[in-house]
Amino acid sequence: MSITLDGINKYFGQFQALNDISLDIPDGELTGLLGPSGSGKTTLLRIIAGLETAEQGRILFHGKDVTPLHVRERRVGFVFQHYALFRHMTVAQNIAFGLEVLPRKERPGAADIHKKVGELLEMVQLSHLADRFPAQLSGGQKQRIALARALAMQPQILLLDEPFGALDAKVRKDLRRWLRALHDELHFTSVFVTHDQEEALELSDRVVVMSAGKIEQVDNPQALYAQPDSRFVFDFLGHVNVFNGDAQGQRLVQGEAWVDMPSPITDEAIQLYLRPHEVRLQDKPAEHAHLPLRIESISLIGAEVRLELLPCGWQADEPWEVGISHVEFNRWQPKRGDRCYAVPDVGHLFDAHQGQPQTLSWLKD
């Protein structure tokens, strides 16, 4: 079931929560709405569901205008962050609830409901918990039950509002993997809200990045990360190291630090964006860059060692971060307070007039 949003505007009093949102979501796609708090993600999701009404614009499901339809008529499944399970009902009763309260003409028989509940419990791999109450479940189990309850109504579209936000990191990762596999198996159209960049990039077929009620960029995860359209998208998708400098011929300069560009630059004030994996560290400056740094902290995180660094002889708005391998860490044995130099391999240049960055490379063929 495809979704088309056409010129959606939403106000809360004088505050405009959504500003002319237009978006096409193809049938069977898993789409992530990503952005900071207050960007309009949840409001947009609730408008798709029919839980909120837009002042202007249309919502179409597979070409049919559903804007005037009540939430009950849209056949949308909604999964909330905090589960919204009925405490006094068992797991099986929670899943069956939506079917049991349907109008008599639409309601399946008791045997069919029982069969459906069993199939859904098997799908979410929790058949053994059918007779337990929500208080007896873990957070991950509760969220699976909430998803099963939403799927019981055979929705045309599944909407999820921060579905894993209340769970710990390990459970979140497991449930993300499980939901992606379930989606690939059933091919339903899904839209989920998150402020977690890793979650959006890992789960989504496409990511919609939102800010202040507007869409900043829509793209697949790989393209979005590799080619952000704006400073906002770049800043929001993970940590980025920023070097602010003045153009002096082909060199970008600030204080004692400088970077030679592969081609001449013309604007006076320029920002060079460097993702942590696009920077190397060494004990001497490179031929094309003099970026002195002091190691502020060292964190052993998973497969890499993350170094937080402060500029020496120049300024940055935030500390720099660079990841190195454990092999490199053991060979180098860096310590807090040590001086080193950043060597950019790939960079992204924003000038005063450019909307999109220019991607640069210092790597030799």
Euclidean distance between CA atoms 253 and 246, whole angstroms: 5
Tell the CATH superfamily of the 240-361 domain. Nucleic acid-binding proteins (2.40.50.140)
Hey, which CATH number is domain 3-234, 3.40.50.300, 3.30.460.10, 1.10.287.3510, 3.30.160.270?
Answer: 3.40.50.300
Retrieve residue 84's tokens: 């919204």
Euclidean distance between CA atoms 108 and 102, whole angstroms: 9
Q: Percent of the chain scored above 90 by pLDDT?
A: 47
Amino acid at 250: Q
Count the residues in the chain. Answer: 365
Band (pLDDT 50/70/90 cuts) for residue 195 is confident
Judged by DSSP in three states, 249 sits in: coil
Strand 339-344 to strand 320-325: parallel, antiparallel, or no bridges (unpaired)? unpaired
* pLDDT for residue 268 is more than 80: no
Retrieve residue 134's tokens: 């929500």
pLDDT at site 354: 59
The pLDDT of 269-287, averaged and rounded, is 90
Most confident listed range (35-44, 166-175, 289-298): 289-298
Q: What is the pLDDT of residues 289-314, one digit of tens each?
A: 999 999 999 998 778 899 999 999 99
Judged by DSSP in three states, 290 sits in: strand
Instruction: Label residue 45 exposed, middle or buried (CB < 10 Å: 0-12, 13-18, 19+).
Output: buried
Would you kindly state where each structural domain of the chain is located, as residue ranges? Answer: 3-234, 240-361
pLDDT at site 78: 85
pLDDT mean across residues, the chain: 88
Check residues 50 and 99 and name the one with the higher pLDDT.
50
Q: What is the pLDDT of residues 316-362, one digit of tens each?
A: 999 999 999 999 999 999 999 999 999 999 998 887 665 678 888 89
| Residue 102 CB contacts under 8 Å (≥ 6 apart), including other chains | 108
The pLDDT of 9-38, averaged and rounded, is 94
Judged by DSSP in three states, 217 sits in: strand
pLDDT at site 355: 64
Whole-model pTM? 0.79
pLDDT at site 54: 94
- Please tell me if the domain spanning 3-234 has the same topology as the one spanning 240-361: no
Check residues 260 and 179 and name the one with the higher pLDDT.
260
Helices 91-100 and 110-123 cross at an angle (nearest 10°) of: 130
The pLDDT of 149-178, averaged and rounded, is 80
Judged by DSSP in three states, 236 sits in: helix
Euclidean distance between CA atoms 213 and 232, whole angstroms: 13
Q: What is the pLDDT of residues 41-67, one digit of tens each?
A: 999 999 999 999 999 999 999 999 999
In Å, how far from its chain's centre is CA 334?
33
Q: Percent of the chain scored above 70 by pLDDT?
A: 97
Check residues 69 and 152 and name the one with the higher pLDDT.
69
Q: Tokens 């098997």 identify what position?
A: 122
Q: Side-chain half-sphere of 113: how many Cα atoms within 13 Å?
A: 17
Lowest mean pLDDT among 15-29, 60-74, 147-161, 274-288: 147-161
Instruction: Label residue 27 exposed, middle or buried (CB < 10 Å: 0-12, 13-18, 19+).
Output: middle
User: Residue 342: which of 304, 298, 309 has the closest Cα?
Assistant: 309
CB atoms within 10 A of CB 241: 23
Euclidean distance between CA atoms 314 and 241, whole angstroms: 14
The pLDDT of 271-285, averaged and rounded, is 92
